[in-house]
Amino acid sequence: MMDVEPGCRFCLANALLVDTPILDTEHFYMLGSIDPMVPVAGMLIPKRHSDDPFGLSPVEWADFGNALAAAKAHFAARKPDGFTLGWNVGAVAGQHDFHAHLHVIPRFRGEPNEGVGIRRVLRTQSWAANA
C-alpha cells in the first residue's frame, strides 16, 4: 500500500520533508504551511503516492473524511470563520508537486482577502463564460 515515487518530497519514505507532519490518519498526513504569505494553512497529503486525487483508492477516500475532520479540529483554536479547500491538478492548474495534496486554508473575517474564494479564478478567465 505504501507506493513511493523516488525523489517525491511528499512520499514519507523518501525522508525529503523540511518540516514535520502535524497530524495523521490511517491514509493521510497534514503539513502546516511554510509559506509566510499564508502562515495559517495546511496540506492534507495521502501517504501512498498518487499524482493527483483522481488516483486515490476507495479505501483512501473512505479515510479522507477523517483527515478533513482532523484538519478542521487542528485549526479550531484559531476560530476560523470559514475555509478555502483546493486541489491543483496538473501543471496547467498550478500543481507544482506531483503528489496529490489538498490545501486547507482557514479564513477569517477582516482579512485582506475576505470574501475572495476559488470562484474568482473562474470569473477572471475569459474562456470561463464559454465553457
Long-range interactions of 4-9: CB distance < 8 A, separation 24+: 4/49, 5/49, 5/99, 8/49, 8/97, 8/98, 8/99, 9/97, 9/99
Looking at per-residue pLDDT, the higher value among 111 and 14 belongs to: 14
Q: For 28-63, how does the pLDDT look when each residue is reduced to its tens digit (9 = 90+)?
A: 999 999 888 888 999 999 999 999 999 999 999 999
Q: How many CB atoms lie within 10 A of CB 60?
A: 21
Q: For 80-130, how does the pLDDT look when each residue is reduced to its tens digit (9 = 90+)?
A: 999 999 999 999 998 999 999 999 999 999 988 888 887 664 455 444 444
Domains and CATH numbers, the chain: 12-130 (3.30.428.10)
pTM: 0.87
Report how far residue 130's alpha carbon sits from residue 30's, in angstroms, rounded to the nearest whole number. 37
